[in-house]
């Protein structure tokens, strides 16, 4: 798949096959893509915790407050992305420029790993609705949980939905 094909195929999976585990090799490819993603000053100010088995079930429950994200119960893998300290040069840049580079870097790593998951035939859903206080002890992390990404195989017959996006002219300006 080229990148445009991946972008066209990637969607938020909300219907996982609970009986199909994710192969370790595919998961390692997804994590390698994440490792290669760019970040401010190459600092990679995040930690990815891979949760499977009981840990995945516990993290899934921590994303289901107020009836949200019930589909995560069927995802065999939950990737928890927690914030870590900046490297010194990125911390200085963030302070001087008043820009939160960690949030940008976490967004980039999420894009890389979900794109590679799509290339591997896996479904993903990026979850921002989560309970940080519940997730931290499950994962043994100190940094704030910023995203959880559910990973698994979509159920058989899960259709590719039409993409509803704004018009290019609403998103892009050319300036000469």
Give the pLDDT band (50/70/90) at residue 42.
very high
pLDDT digits (tens, 9 = 90+) for 125-153: 999 999 999 999 999 999 999 999 999 99
Please give the pLDDT value at position 14.
97
- Which pTM does this prediction carry? 0.96
Please give the pLDDT value at position 174.
97
Please give the pLDDT value at position 47.
98
pLDDT digits (tens, 9 = 90+) for 106-117: 999 999 999 999
What is the enclosing helix (H) or strand (E) of 137? helix 132-139
Residue 127 main-chain phi, psi, to 5 deg: -115, 125
Q: Which residues pair with 79 in a beta bridge?
A: 50, 149
């Amino acid at each position: 798949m080229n990148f445009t094909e991946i972008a066209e195929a990637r969607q938020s999976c909300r219907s996982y096959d609970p009986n199909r585990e994710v192969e370790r090799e595919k998961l390692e490819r997804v994590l390698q893509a994440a490792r290669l993603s760019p970040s401010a000053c190459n600092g990679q100010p995040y930690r990815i915790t891979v949760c499977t088995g009981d840990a995945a079930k516990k993290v899934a429950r921590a994303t289901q407050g107020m009836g949200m994200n019930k589909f995560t119960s069927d995802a065999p893998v939950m990737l928890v992305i927690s914030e870590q300290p900046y490297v010194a040069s990125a911390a200085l840049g963030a302070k001087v420029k008043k820009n939160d580079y960690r949030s940008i870097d976490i967004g980039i790593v999420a894009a890389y790993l979900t794109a590679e998951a799509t290339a591997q035939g896996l479904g993903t859903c990026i979850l921002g609705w989560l309970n940080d206080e519940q997730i931290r002890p499950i994962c043994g992390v100190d940094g704030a949980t910023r995203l959880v990404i559910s990973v698994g195989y979509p159920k058989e017959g899960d259709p590719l939905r039409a993409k509803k996006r704004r018009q290019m002219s609403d998103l892009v300006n050319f300036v000469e």
